[in-house]
Every structure is written in structure tokens, then in C-alpha cells.
Structure 1
């Protein structure tokens, strides 16, 4: 599941998290795989990624904007359909104080992995989703 590492790297680059492991916990639930065999093996992963940010400092709008931006570029099919847009990103905020809170974000993700046998060794690569044209979002 390569999108998990991709998202974490994105959040690090945006300086929304640091390398402190206690700041962000990640978990996967409701996962299943569709395997299609042809000349090469294609795996379709479907899962919910749970992100928990402990003691996240306000404002958290920047975090949410970054998540939507990442989803638009990396999970474009969920942002294209008006119904899936309503359920592809969910969040809960807890332990709200004057300067920080605990944020739980749930992202419905899928990814396609192409597995090829090259020189008798299996190699896997993520097949990127197409980036949406802005007109398709309206």
C-alpha cells in the first residue's frame, strides 16, 4: 500500500507533521484486495486509512486543505463523483483546548499495483490515478 507512505511524505514536506512518531498514528481498516491475473498480476487495494493527530495545534484548516489537495491528486476518482466526495474524507475532533486538539481523519483509498516478473524477481509499481481537470469537479 504505497499511498500511505506517499501521504506521510507529503505531510512532512508541507511541515504539517514532523518525524515524531507520537504526533501521527496511522491504521488501516476495511481492507480488501481484488486480484486480476493476466500476463501480469494486477492488485486493487481498497481500504480506509485512519490518521490520528495528537495535540495538533490550531488552526487545522491548513491540514484539511492539504488532505483535500492530496486526495484530489492521488485519489481523483473519489473526488470526481459527487456522492463519493461526501464520504471519502471524514473527520472527528476531540480533546479541544485553547491551543490544540486531537484530530481523527478517515480516508477511503484504493490503489492499483502492477506486479511483474522481471528476471525471475517480482517487482511492484503503483499505477497513478489520473489528475482531475478542474472542470470535472463542478
Structure 2
């Protein structure tokens, strides 16, 4: 199938780990992800998904992935090396370089992203980036983007 890109906008939350956990549950609840084997029931929690990945009878599912944020489960600090299953925040320097402001809006993000996510930052498959979006200088959303799956 090949990798799939994904983008999520969520209400601003200062704690990226809490934000990621809430987004995982939203995607699981909505069923908005690729599922390789229709004979295996979709999991209701991230823990259940990881149990399927560890089970020798269904571990093949982890090779295909969900082509969604469910394939990412760690949050690293800005400037950290890329790692499998990890999202990193854009550094303040990269935010300024890409958006020419410290407080980019959703419209600014969408305009740059429409021209290709690699214009914002490069990262390997099975990982992603996130940054805070603002309205009138006030944080209102976080955008998370990446790509995963095989």
C-alpha cells in the first residue's frame, strides 16, 4: 500500500503527551484509520492495539500500521533526533524560518503545508511533527502531521 500522510488539528493543550493521548482515543473512537485485516476486530484502546501487535497471531498488523497518528506513541523534545513512533515539536527557530513569525496561524500553516510538508521540516516515515497555531497571538490549536504505514 505504501506510506500515508496524515494531519490532525486539535484544540490547544499545553501538555503534548495529554494531547497525543486524547487524539489517539478520538481516532480510535471514530475508526478513522486503516485496518489491514477485517477479520480482526478493531481495538477500542491504544493498549489493545499494542496487545495485538505483541500477539504472535496478529503481530503482522504492526508491519502494515494504521496509516494514522496511532502509529506514533512518543513525544520528544524539540531538536531531538528523529525516532520511530515519535513526534517532535518544531523548534522555535524552525517556526520563525518557515512562517516568519513566532505565532503562526492555521491559515499560514495550511498555505505552507499545501506546497508540501517537506517545506516545513523533513522527517522519516513512522514519525511526525507538531506545532502550536494561534489567533491574534493566542494559542488555539495544535497541528500534528506525519506519515506512516507500509
TM-score exceeds 0.5:
no
Structure showing the higher helix proportion among its residues:
2
TM-score normalised by length of structure 2 = 0.29
- Please state which structure has a larger fraction of its residues in strand: 1
**TM-score normalised to structure 1 length:** 0.31
The structure showing larger relative contact order (alpha-carbon pairs under 8 Å, at least 6 residues apart) is 2
**Pair member with larger Rg:** 1
